[in-house]
Structure 1
Amino acid sequence: MSLGWMGKNRVFVEKLVKFGNAYANSYKKEYPYNTSFQFSAAQIQVLEYILENEDKNQNMLEIANRLGISKSAFSKNVKKMVDKGLLEKYHTSENKKNIIIKATQAGKEVYEQYAKYAYEKSFKEIFSLLDEIPEQYVEKMEEILDIAAKATSEKAKQEKEVTLIRIEE
C-alpha cells in the first residue's frame, strides 16, 4: 500500500515516529543518569520544571498542566522523588490543600549531575546542529513539535471520551 499522502515528508514523519516510540519506551524506566539515584525521564522533567520555576510557588495542578501530564501521573512522580529525598512538599499558610513542591539540596545536586551527563551524552550534539540552523527555521520546528504534541494529546482525549461513552452504554 502506498503512503503517498505524506509526499516528500515521509522520512520526516518516520523520524518523528521513531523518536516518539523510543522516548515512550524509556519514559517511565528508571536509570542512574550518572548519578547515585535512579529516576525516570518523567521524574527528571518534574524536577527540572520545579527547579526552573521555584520562585513561582506553583501548585501541583499548575505544574502538571504545564508539563502536559495528568495530575495523578504528576503526583506519582512527586511521591517517588519525595521518597528519594529529592523533593519536599509544603502547604501554603492560607490553604492547606494547596501543595507546593520544592527541590531539596540533594535534588539540586542530582539535577546538576544529570544535566552535565545529558548535555555530554546527547544535547551537545543537538545544540550544535541547532546552532547551524537559522532561528526562524528552529521556530518552525518548534511549531511542528507543538502540533505533534497537541495531536497526540487530542487523540488521548478522544480515546478517553470513547471509553466513557462505552461505559455508559
Structure 2
Amino acid sequence: MRMRQRVEPGPGQDSVWDYPRPPRVEAVPERVRIEFGGHVVVDTVDAVRVLETSHPPVYYVPRDAVTAELLPAPGASLCEFKGAAKYLSMRVGDRVADSAIWYYPTPSPGYEALAGRIAVYPGRVDRCEVAGETVVPQQGDFYGGWITSKVVGPFKGAPGTWGW
C-alpha cells in the first residue's frame, strides 16, 4: 500500500511527518486522564510524550499516578531507540484490561525521562483524555498512539501501513 498524502497541519496542529526519528521525549503541560472500570485511574499534569515520525504521540505518566491495580502481563518487545519494554494489565474491580500498559524498566540512553513511567493503549481502556479532549486510539494493535485534534497524519498502524 502506498502512503496517503501528508495532511497539511492547520493552525495549532502538528503533522506526525514533521516529528523526528529517532523519537523525541518532551514534557507536556496538559492534564492527562485515563478512565477504566468506571473510575478515573490516572489524573496528572506530570506527563511526557514521545514524538516519532509517522506516529501520533504516545503519552507516559508516572507509574505511581495509577490508582488501578497493575498486574504483570506476558510478552515483551524491543524498540530500537527506547530499549526493552515489558507489559502490564490493569484491574479495577472485576474488569481487567489485558496488556493495556507498557513500560521501559531500563530505558536506553537519551530516554531516561521514561524511567518510572507507563504508557497506556487508549483502545484498551474506557477513555483517555489530553486537556479535556477524548483521545482517538491509533489503529492497529502495536503502537498505542493518542490522536487528538492537534495532530494530523496519515498515521502508521492501520493495515497496509507497516511498509511506510
TM-score (structure 2 length as normaliser) = 0.28
Which has the larger share of strand?
2
TM-score by length of 1: 0.28
Q: Relative to total residues, which structure has the larger helix share, 1 or 2? A: 1
Higher RCO, 1 vs 2 (CA within 8 Å, ≥6 residues apart) = 2
Q: Which has the larger radius of gyration?
A: 1
